[in-house]
Amino acid sequence: MKKGIILMAILGLSSQVQAQIGIGTTTPAQKLDVVGSTAVKSSVFLDPIDYVNNPSGFTILGTDPQSSVVNGKVLAVENLYTPLTIQPYSVTNIYRDDLTDLNLNISTDNFFITVANFEAIPSSGNNGIYTDTSANPVNKGHFVFNIFESGGTWHINISYPTLNTQNTTDRYTYNFDVVMYSKRFYKNLGTVTYDLGGSNNGSAPAAPSGI
């Protein structure tokens, strides 16, 4: 008889372990269902998530101590609060080889940006950046990137200042990735300047202040 009671207790415990747990609700919809607490305005579900095969089902929960609206409450991390966002761009039909000013319309208040994975593709029939075959060739130079703020948004300039394409009808496609860092996770330490005094070698006197 005792064995039967123990077996029933074990079976009962197993069913409780597999049961759904509700906080603020008597009918939980997930393994853990929290409803109507002071920190969470709506339901929060905790379930095993395969992020590798199902990234769209992945949710980060966090607090934002900088926001007077959030005020320490737990929220889902969305676009503005995501630490790192990568946006690929393909800018086509550029006149010759100079992208003078492209307004990315990315807020400078919310994001700091960098550019990666640059690729310059000449259009069909375009000979590309020409080679100077004269008796006194000039420096062939290199592409120059300039990312700058204007009117509250980020702008980008890409050019090849020392040489040009062969024909005024030539066109380029520039492919690149814009990496956006949310300023809620970004700390600007300002410019660090080192005077090497004409040497090719040097050592920082100390680590940057503020890290």
**Residue 201, in any domain of the structure:** no
Is the full-model pTM beyond 0.85?
no
Same domain membership, residue 168 and residue 156: yes
Same domain, 85 and 178: yes
Q: Is residue 65 part of a domain?
A: yes
The per-residue pLDDT of the chain, averaged, comes to 75
pLDDT digits over 30-85, tens only?
767 767 654 544 444 445 545 455 555 455 566 555 565 555 555 555 555 677 88
pLDDT digits (tens, 9 = 90+) for 145-193: 999 999 999 999 998 887 778 788 889 999 999 999 888 777 778 888 8
57 and 131 fall within a common domain: no
CA distances from 12 to 3, 4, 20, 21, 66 (A): 14, 12, 14, 15, 47
Give the count of domains, the chain: 2
Beta bridge partners, 154, equal: 149
Q: Residue 187: inside a domain, yes or no?
A: no
Q: Which residues constitute the domain of residue 68?
A: 21-77
Q: Do 125 and 160 have their domain in common? A: yes
On whether residue 165 sits in a domain, the answer given is yes
Same-domain pairing of 86 and 172: yes
